[in-house]
Amino acid sequence: MVPVKRIILATCSFIPHAPKATSFIPQLTTISLIASTRRHFVASSLLASTTRGQVCSSITRTVSLSATDSTMAFETGYLNAKDAAALDAELMSTPGFSLEQLMELAGLAVAEAVYQVNSENNKESTNRVLVVCGPGNNGGDGLVAARHLVHFGLEADIVYPKPSSKQHFINLVKQCEDMNIPVMSEIPSDKKYDIIVDSIFGFSFDSTSTIREPFATAIKDMIRLQKDQNATMISVDVPSGWDVDGGDLTGENFSPEVLISLTAPKMSAKKFKGRHFVGGRFLPPAIAEKYGVKMPPYPGVQQMPPYPGLRHCMEVPSVDDVHDQEEEDWAVQYQAYLDEKDAMLNEDGEDVPSRQGNKSPQGEDWAVQYAEYCIEKEKEFFQYNQIKES
Ligand SMILES: NC(=O)C1=CN([C@@H]2O[C@H](COP(=O)(O)OP(=O)(O)OC[C@H]3O[C@@H](n4cnc5c(N)ncnc54)[C@H](OP(=O)(O)O)[C@@H]3O)[C@@H](O)[C@H]2O)[C@H](O)CC1
Ligand SMILES: [K+]
């Protein structure tokens, strides 16, 4: 870990969102306190450019779910455009979240997913991210994500063709500039990027009118860059230009490889066939229930679970069909994996002597192993979709 002058001891607060996870609170709290006496954590990436993965993997203990729970958790539900806006408004009224709070969490979740995709990219050079921001809050999520990505150690450029005059957005741009992130008005033709983050339009995009400038050009330029530079396109909440409920109605054939849904997938996500993350770990249970949203179970402190498939979000056969030769569903195997890990703790949650710290006998952190397991399964499913389509 990067040495820092001031060290803050972090006590982690685990706030499980799935009601069934409540019984794990004492166990998780115990483990987090034990962990905090052993190691020093830098409290946030606002202070130093530590790799978030390092911090997370040091302190996370996954929430153990039964096979049934983890299967159900993939059925996240869908929001149509009207409900997505109503849910947003309700979040900012009844429980009193501010837009700034929600955008910071949404942007952080986006940055985590982008970081994960980037670290799995098998490209010669990685780390160069272009974030293209639109005029509304979807664009704000992009501005927040760019700042976090730089804290995570990636290079980020921003294209913000029509900056908002609202004070919060002015602040977000200033925060990015303070991180030495270039903020440009159009997509440059002379720079190379590995990842493009499409943060132009979200759930308030109006597909009944043609896409107005400067965003029509921005979308065209993004698509050109995606093809010319073989960059990975990641859309935030809704692929820009897609009708929020109906999907790609324009015929532009805008097809991102990755979609990051915030709070819950929008209806158009049913048409999306790529890799799908669902993030936004801030939904109070009553609002989730009212709108029929089931949040996926999040491991440890992550904002963006590396869950495989989110298969109910895609209109394709379940991964079980692919693995029908296997005796057990992967979720059952995964539960067995967690049970095995649980058995390595004694009743007080202390380590069995044979284990060293949070390391397994093979020397790997549990959380790292868990994340790798999930990524592996997700890749299998993604590859299966590609084969199926070709
Ligand atoms: N609850 C959450 O999960 C949170 C989600 N967040 C993000 O916010 C967006 C929704 O933000 P919103 O500002 O409501 O809308 P958009 O970002 O989609 O953009 C609205 C702007 O787009 C312009 N627009 C609409 N249609 C067109 C068009 N055909 N051509 C050009 N421009 C268009 C519109 O312009 P107007 O002139 O009509 O005003 C708006 O300026 C959500 O998707 C999440 O990403 C939040 O961060 C909070 C938490
Ligand atoms: K978008």
58/85 same-domain check: no
| CB-based contact 296:70 (threshold 8 Å) | no
> Which ligand 1 atom is the nearest neighbour of the CA of 87?
1
Judged against a pLDDT cut of 70, whether residue 63 lies above it is answered with no
Same domain, 85 and 69: no
> Do 39 and 134 fall into the same domain?
no
pLDDT in tens, 349-359: 554 444 444 44
Any binding-site annotation on 138? yes
**Contact at 8 Å (CB) between 158 and 181?**
yes
Given a cut of 80, is residue 71 above it in pLDDT?
A: no
The reply to whether 280 and 338 lie within a common domain is no
Instruction: Choose the most confident range, by mean pLDDT, from 16-25, 56-65, 76-85.
Output: 76-85
Residue whose pair of structure tokens reads 């952080």 in the numeric block: 108
pLDDT tens-digit series, residues 133-168: 999 999 999 999 999 999 999 999 999 999 999 999
Q: How many domains does the chain fold into?
A: 2
Q: Which residue has the tokens 């936004």?
A: 280
Count Cα atoms within 13 angstroms, Cβ side, for 37.
6
Q: How high is the mean pLDDT of the chain? A: 71
Does residue 378 have its Cβ closer than 6 Å to ligand 1?
A: no
- Helices 137-151 and 99-120 sit at what angle, rounded to 10 degrees? 50
pLDDT at 258 exceeding the cut of 60:
yes
- Over residues 310-356, the pLDDT tens digits come to 433 333 333 344 344 344 455 566 666 667 666 665 555 554 444 44
Which residue segment(s) compose the domain that 365 sits in?
4-74+321-389
pLDDT at 85: 95
The residue whose CB lies within 8 Å of the most ligand 1 atoms, and thus the one to mutate among 91, 138, 303, is: 138
62 part of a folded domain: yes
**Assigned token pair, 244:** 């929020």
206 close to ligand 1 (CB < 6 Angstrom):
yes
Q: Are residues 262 and 131 in the same domain?
A: yes
**pLDDT-derived band of residue 86, with 50, 70 and 90 as boundaries?**
very high
For residues 279 and 106, give the distance between their C-alpha atoms in angstroms, rounded to a whole number.
7
- 268 and 184 belong to one structural domain: yes
218: confidence class by pLDDT, cuts 50, 70, 90: very high
- On whether the CB atoms of residues 166 and 143 are closer than 8 A, the answer is no
Q: Give yes or no: residues 36 and 106 share one domain.
A: no
Residue 79 Cβ contacting ligand 1 at under 6 Å: no
CATH number of the domain within which 208 lies: 3.40.50.10260
Instruction: Kindly state whether residue 316 falls inside one of the protein's structural domains.
Output: no
Asked if residue 14 has pLDDT above 50, the reply is: no
pLDDT of residue 384 exceeding 70, the answer is no
Evaluate: CB of 106 within 6 angstroms of ligand 1: yes
240 marked among binding-site residues: yes
Query: DSSP string of 125-169?
Result: S--EEEEEE-SSHHHHHHHHHHHHHHHTT-EEEEE-SS---SHHH
The pTM of the full predicted model, rounded to 2 decimals, is 0.69
Q: Long-range contacts for 381-384 (Cβ within 8 Å, ≥24 apart)?
A: 381/308, 381/309, 381/311, 381/319, 381/322, 382/274, 382/275, 384/319, 384/322
What's residue 180's pLDDT? 98
